[in-house]
Each structure stands twice: as C-alpha cells, then as structure tokens.
Amino acid sequence: MAGTGKVYLVGAGPGDCGLLTVKGFEKLKTADVVVYDRLINNELLSCCKKDCEKIFVGKESGYHPIEQEKITEILLKKSQGGYNVVRLKGGNPFIFGRGSEEAIELKKAGIDYEIIPGITSGLAAPIYSGIPITQRGLITQCVFVTAHECPGKPGTQVEWEKLAKLKNTSLIIYMGASRIATISEKLIEYGMDPSMPAAVVENGTLPKQRTITGRLDSIPEIFKKENFHAPAIIIISPAISLRDEISWFEKKPLLNKRIVITGEKTQQDKLYTELSELGAEVIRLPFIKTQIKNPCIDIQELFTKNNFEWILFTGENEVNSFFEILKGKKFDSRIFGNKKIASIGSATSKALETYGLTANYSRENSTSSSPTVNEFSNFNMNGYNLLWIKNFDEHQQVPVEFKSVEERIKTINVCEYLPDNPDSNVVADIEKNGADIFVFTTPASIVNFFNLFSHETVTKTINNAKVLVTNPAAASVLCYKNLKNIIVSSKQSAQGICEVINSLF
C-alpha cells in the first residue's frame, strides 16, 4: 500500500460491548489492522471488515507472551506499510494502561495517531454493581490507585499512609486481586477504620460479574472463600452501604448463564441482543450461511400460466432469496397478482412485510404439530395447486395445514445452507467451558455441529446442557443423535425464544 497509515489508540471499555464509544466503533469497523489485548470482548472483533488483520498481543499476570517493545514494533510496521491500525486496549488507554508510551513512540517515528478514550473499569464496575462512586453529603472525592506498579521501581509510589487517612473518599483500586490482604493490612495499619465498607467486583460489566462486600478487615477472607480472582476492582468507600438499594445489573434473570446460539451470523443479532439484555453470556456459533440458488425456471410463465392459488413461505431466508431472484429477473412483488400467501413463523411474516406483502394466512410459530387455530380450513383449496418456496434442506417438512393437498404442491428451491466456520477461539471456549443452553434453529446447524466437535466434546457439552430447537425437523435430527434435554420451542421470534429460555431457570 502506498503512503503511511494512521494509528488509533482506542479504549475498548470495561467489557460490555455496548460501552465502546461510537467513535471507537466507527474506527474499528474501517480498520485494516486491529492489535488487541487479552481483556477485549471478542464480540467487538466481529464488527471488523472481512479482510481486517487481527493481531492478539494479550498479557496476563505473570505471563507476558509479547513484550511492549514488540507491540510498538507491530504498530510501527503496520502503519508504515500504509495500513490504518486500531490499537484496541481494555478500559481507557491512558488510565493504568501503556497508551501514553505507545503514543510517544509513534510520535518519535513520525506516525500520525489519534487517541479515543474508553470507559475505565474503575468507573464502570462499581456502577454495574450498584455502588456510587460519589454521593452528596457522603462522598466528595474518589481516588484511582493501582496495586500493580512497574517492577523495576525501587519502592512503591502508592502512599497508603495518606490514603488511609482520607475522609469522605472512595478508593478505587485496580489490579489488586493478588494483594488484597496486604492492601487491607496496610490501610488498617495506617489508621483506616477496620469496619470501613469494602467491595470487590469481579469481571465487571460482563455477564459473569460477581460482587462481594464486607468490612475492610474481613474482605480478604471473603475474597478467598468465594474464590474470586482477577480481573477485579476493589472499592473501599462508605457508599458501598447503598448497594442493596441501587444494585441492578446482578438482578438480571439470565446473569451467569452461558447460551450458545447457532444458525446464520446475519440472523443472530436480534436474539443476541435480547438475551444479552436479560444478562446472559451469549456465544455466537455460526455454522451455516445461505447461498441463493437461482432455479432454472421462467418466473413470468410460472406465475401466469399455472393455476397457483396459494404461495407458501416457511422461512425468512426463503423469502429474501426469492425476492433477490425476482430482482435479478427484473420483477417485484406485483407479480403475485391475486395469489394468496401463506406464511409459517413470525420471522417469515416480518420478512414478507419488508416487501410490502401481508400473508392471507399466517401461523406465528413454525414448530407445532398442528395449527393452534384451524383457521386455514376457512380457505377453499379444492382443485387448486400450491407453490412452496423452499430450500434444499432434506429435513424440511410440509406444514401440517397443507398435508391434505400435499400431492398438489409444486416446490421451488431458492436457497441452500452451506457450512460456515466459527472462530477457532469460540470453538475452544465451548470445548473448555461448555454452556447452559444450546439453541439450534435448523437441522443443518446440528449436522455441522456434530461435524465440527468430537464425540467426546458433544457428550461433555450438550448432554450437560439444555438444547432448545425452534422447528420439529431439528428436533428429529437431535433425537436421532440420542441427545437428552431437548426442548422444542413453540415460538420462533427472538422475543419468544427468550421467554422460553427465561422460563427454564
């Protein structure tokens, strides 16, 4: 590439993807290269463009696989190669990070750069835990402290003696998980009241967030008993007493629940958002992608010379694929004329509505073995043929309402499901940590799941979890695989699936 690129030092926030700034998100979407740390939420990387190069330079306590000098070298090399680089750093790059060091080196090398602040965990974690950092009449100041200082310094720069004597103050302590007992002892030794309220927030703003509270002199023992670990923020403040009144995030119904959603990446967003709002840790596992298959038929002749009274759609993908084919052949929804439309599933009906069509007959769910209301009997199908717009899935079944006219159904396959490869880090995470619920929306997702994971992994993960499917064909495949704990959802919409999942806990 010609010329020199630019480096953006972007604060990724404390963990919750929604706390990334709008400006940071825009730079991430257009970056040629992203250089990211260990505590970055991997979901953020899904918004990068397809050809973006992602370079992991994570560090953790006691283990530094890539030295800071090497990280700086990567930034220089990539930007000097003409690439726009996002250096994605946890929290805020200028609060107990090394963003300023990187900026100085970029300046020395003559590289153009920009700094985009992020929300630091010391602000976000207490708030997500319901602990105010300041409070009128109670807390007039807050102090950010790091318990992990540069190892090359001759002594500590943290003046614990002075901090212990501060009044009306919230102490927010970063990177103190391994030194919590020492911190407590030092502050009490220098005069802080042993009964001062203290709290620790682990994995702040993430679905696996936990909080413990206690007296300053007892918090180290509680920390050990509850098996807390880094990343954690320690808060020492009289304002902790307000937590019981203010706490909100940890009251979400699906907090600390891991839910794997399969299917197509492009169709996971709404379900991902709704489950996340309920507090769940949602893991995307896209196993399939839709490919349009243009049938070798004359659309004009099909719709004008055949006596189709009804056009049946049984999936959102089929609707979108069919209209893409129409568009390519210079047709639109006017070709439907006086044909009646039947729709199975709420997502199918909504997809039709985007093309200006309302189904004459629709069924909210796509899973029941019989219609909840047999309203379809009101329509006279005697002597009429039906056109079913479908995909190539061999497991797809004729909806029960149309069984009586099955011999008069003509089918057009407009799309097929192809295997998609999930991110290897996501696969490794599921193999290691499993999940509480797996959601399958198509038989193809199930087949690809078994192709990707070993029999041992399947036994370990799925059989120890609940399995939710949203159509009967998928349930049949799972039964054939001898899986346990299968739940067939009568609802297909994201909201409906969330309601079913919420009822399981």
Q: Same structural domain for residues 299 and 405?
A: yes
pLDDT category, 368, cuts 50, 70, 90? low
pLDDT category, 372, cuts 50, 70, 90? very low
User: 60, 91, 119: which is the final residue of a domain?
Assistant: 119
Left if phi > 0, otherwise alpha if psi is -120 to 50, otherwise beta: which for 396?
beta
Q: Same structural domain for residues 83 and 15?
A: yes
Q: Same structural domain for residues 132 and 212?
A: yes
Has residue 342 got a pLDDT over 80? yes
Q: Let me know if 23 is a catalytic residue.
A: no
Q: Same structural domain for residues 193 and 341?
A: no
Q: Same structural domain for residues 488 and 370?
A: no
Domain assignment present for residue 1? The answer is: no
Domain assignment present for residue 359? The answer is: yes
**Annotated catalytic residue within 16, 37, 393, 436:** 37
Q: What is the mean pLDDT of residues 358-377?
A: 63
For residue 232, the domain's CATH number is: 3.30.950.10
Q: Same structural domain for residues 148 and 244?
A: yes
**Annotated catalytic residue within 6, 54, 59, 289:** 59
What percentage of the chain reaches a pLDDT higher than 90? 53
Q: Same structural domain for residues 274 and 237?
A: no
For 335, the token pair is 């070709």
Residue 485 has a pLDDT of 75
Structural domain that includes position 52: 6-119
Domain assignment present for residue 458? The answer is: yes
Cβ count within 10 A of residue 83: 18
Q: What is the mean pLDDT of residues 233-256?
A: 96
Q: 44-48 long-range contacts, Cβ below 8 Å, gap at least 24?
A: 44/12, 44/17, 44/20, 44/88, 46/265, 46/284
Q: Same structural domain for residues 268 and 375?
A: no
For 364, the token pair is 């909210």
Name the one residue in this structure whose structure tokens are 């192709």.
451
Q: What is the mean pLDDT of residues 384-409?
A: 78
3-state secondary structure of 58: coil
pTM: 0.82
Q: Same structural domain for residues 242 and 305?
A: no
Q: How many domains does the chain have?
A: 4
Residue 370 has a pLDDT of 47
For residue 386, the domain's CATH number is: 3.40.50.10090
Has residue 56 got a pLDDT over 50? yes
3-state secondary structure of 236: strand
CA distances from residue 87 to 160, 279, 309, 341 in whole angstroms, order as listed: 33, 28, 58, 51
Domain assignment present for residue 241? The answer is: yes
159-182 tens-digit pLDDT: 999 999 999 999 999 999 999 999
442-474 tens-digit pLDDT: 787 888 888 888 877 777 788 888 999 887 777
Q: Which of 183-192, 371-380, 487-496 has the lowest mean pLDDT?
A: 371-380
User: 63, 95, 119: which is the final residue of a domain?
Assistant: 119
For 91, the token pair is 């929290």
User: 102, 119, 136: which is the final residue of a domain?
Assistant: 119
How many Å apart are CA 181 and CA 156, to the nearest integer?
Answer: 16
Q: Same structural domain for residues 87 and 196?
A: no
Domain assignment present for residue 318? The answer is: yes
Residue 451 has a pLDDT of 83
For 500, the token pair is 């079913």
91-148 tens-digit pLDDT: 999 999 889 999 999 999 999 999 999 999 999 999 999 999 999 999 999 999 999 7
**Dihedrals φ, ψ of 350, to 5°?**
-65, -35
CA distances from residue 195 to 184, 188, 215 in whole angstroms, order as listed: 11, 10, 5
Q: Let me know if 112 is a catalytic residue.
A: no
What does DSSP assign to residue 329? T
Give the chain's mean pLDDT: 87
3-state secondary structure of 335: helix
